Amino acid sequence: MAVYKAPVRDMQFVLNEVFLADNLWQSMPDTEEVSGDVVEAILTEGAKIAENLLLPLNQSGDEVGCQFENGVVTTPAGFKEAYQQLADGGWVGLGGNPEFGGQGMPKMLTVLFEEMLYAANTAFTLYPILSAGFSLALNSHASQEIKQKYLPKMYSGQWAGTMCLTEPHAGSDLGIIRTKAIPNADGAYEITGTKIFITGGEHDLTENILHLVLAKLPDSPAGSKGISLFLVPKFFVNDDDSLGERNQVSCGSIEHKMGIKGSATCVVNFDGAIGWLVGEINQGLACMFTMMNYERLSIGIQGLGLGEIAYQSAASYAKERLQGRAVDGPKNPDKYADNLLVHPDVRRMLLSVRAYNEAGRAFAVYVGMQLDIAKFHPNETKREYAADLVALLTPIVKSFFTDKGLEMCIMSQQVLGGHGYVKEWGLEQFVRDARIAQIYEGTNGIQAMDLVGRKVFRNQGQYVELFLSEMKVLLSEIADDSSLQCFYSGLKSTIEICEKTTQQLIASAKKDPNYLGAVAVDYLNLLGLTSYAYMWTKMAKVALQQVDQDDTGFYQNKLIVGEFFIQRLLPQVYALQISIDSGSSAIMKMGDEAF
């Protein structure tokens, strides 16, 4: 049976001690009312929701899945009631604009709440997360009239939102979509086309569903430059905010998937449905990226949350399972065997999962901090700096978190041996649920291409240099501390590899058109490991200052796990450097006919 206890203590450590969130929030007028009491309440109550409301529905939701009949989608038993309870508590609008009923909580805090939800019940969590991203796009780009009409019901959880991009013939290449938008005399548009893989495209959780739809006007330019964005409600909304007639929107079917079975993945048909323009004509893709980038960070956290529940379940099993004896003599001589933790290889697996999870949690909060600064900080220079870092780090978060999330679920499954392959323990579900995160919201290969092409090569490594310069400041702060030499040496060597590899990447890409595509994933993993080394060094610095005053073992264990990461996991950067150095020749040499 799966085991999960929200890691509130570690979340508090990262938020309050490593990143000093309260000091930052007090420096920004829009967040200065976020007190320590508010943070404590959100983390504590969020943990209760994850553990007591959502976790009990996770396995049953996977077994039953969503049902489709005559255009109607029914979610698993308990989902509707749980969603209503989440909405009644104001959780759907946790990060929303207070002008329209949101709570305005900073991203540094909401990423931690999202991690809890994803860990407890990933399939369920996708519904409110899509609504949050939808609301962000609407708040950023819609007219005041549209925002006033729709956002309050979105933040209250009374209505839900989707993003409709993919079509049967157009996946990642959105420039070739065929959905049409015909302008009407009254300023509205008739939307016609079919979208596939739409998360939450139809369900029974809310009374209305609002779709953000990418479509093209008849006279729009070809390709991605001709895409516009439209708001298309399932039910029209009357002037008094009551629901009117149903729009010409219908669900054609739902997908039968490997995982996230409690999440309805729908084919949605628009048959002359009425919609309203969001943002400017032919600027739809730019507007939609507001939502997509939000979801990319969130889907990264999906990998993190699943890695955490997988770790806790595997660690609990390892403590109880008696198998074999320690090589240096029995640890429990009164029993027929020792527990799994006497075996070094089991410890290697569990420490690997824990090290990646805890670094990932810190990195999620770090990226959330940059988003908060970019949005709220009164100093323009700091806003611009943070926005540059967000641009660089978003594809890393999405890809590295989800790659490691799946890897950590598989490694945790391995701890259980044969029991990990059996449904009752939960690990096989976590593996299946984690797999999709590498695919949707832009496949991880495309994320890597975005990183090396737009975020590194295009600006000649300026964003990378900003990030590495920040790490060098930390190095200077700990250079003379002998207790942190493991972290100092590891991070210093990794920074040097990053600098050298980035320079080579830029130079080689100018000569070889295939070079960036050939090394993109390796380079993203290099920056991911470097980011985690940075996080571990920051955490170790804080933990060392508190270790002598702590009788719980929290800070000592933090240092131990951090040292494991530096010594056993970070050396992968050397292999990645060699792989990147090899270029594209081995990849491009074989002819198409040989595949």
**CB proximity list for 476: less than 8 A, separation 6 or greater:** none
Compute the distance between CA of residue 117 and CA of residue 505 in angstroms, rounded to an integer. Answer: 38
How far apart are the C-alpha atoms of 115 and 200, rounded to whole Å? 20
- Per the listing, tokens 């009491």 go with 37
Both structure tokens of 592: 């198409």
Q: Out of 114, 202, 295, 441, which one is annotated catalytic?
A: 441
Counting other chains too, the contacts that 179-186 makes at CB distance below 8 Å and 24 or more residues apart are 179/213, 179/214, 179/215, 179/216, 179/270, 180/215, 180/216, 180/217, 180/218, 181/215, 181/216, 181/217, 181/228, 181/230, 181/275, 182/217, 182/218, 183/217, 184/274
- What SS3 state is found at 281? coil
Query: 235-237 and 208-216 as β-strands: parallel, antiparallel, unpaired?
Result: unpaired
Distance CA 151, CA 139 (A): 8
Q: Which residue is it, tokens 């949350």? A: 305
Q: Which residues are CB-neighbours of 133 under 8 A, at least 6 positions away?
A: 161, 163, 291, 292, 294, 295, 298
Q: Is 441 a catalytic residue?
A: yes
Distance CA(429)–CA(410), nearest Å, equals 10
> Sign of dihedral through CA atoms 415, 305, 73, 76?
positive
Secondary structure of residue 253 in the 3-state scheme: strand
Q: Residue 8 class from Cβ within 10 Å (0-12 exposed, 13-18 middle, 19+ buried)?
A: middle
**Based on the number of CB atoms within 10 Å of its own CB, is 453 exposed (0-12), middle (13-18) or buried (19 or more)?**
middle
What residues contact residue 132 under an 8 Å CB cut-off, 6+ apart? 92, 93, 94, 95, 96, 294, 298
SS3 307: helix
Rounded (5°) CA angle 51-60-116: 25
Nearby residues of 278 by Cβ (< 8 Å), 6 or more positions away: 137, 138, 141, 142, 146, 212, 229, 230, 231, 284, 287
Annotated catalytic residues are 441
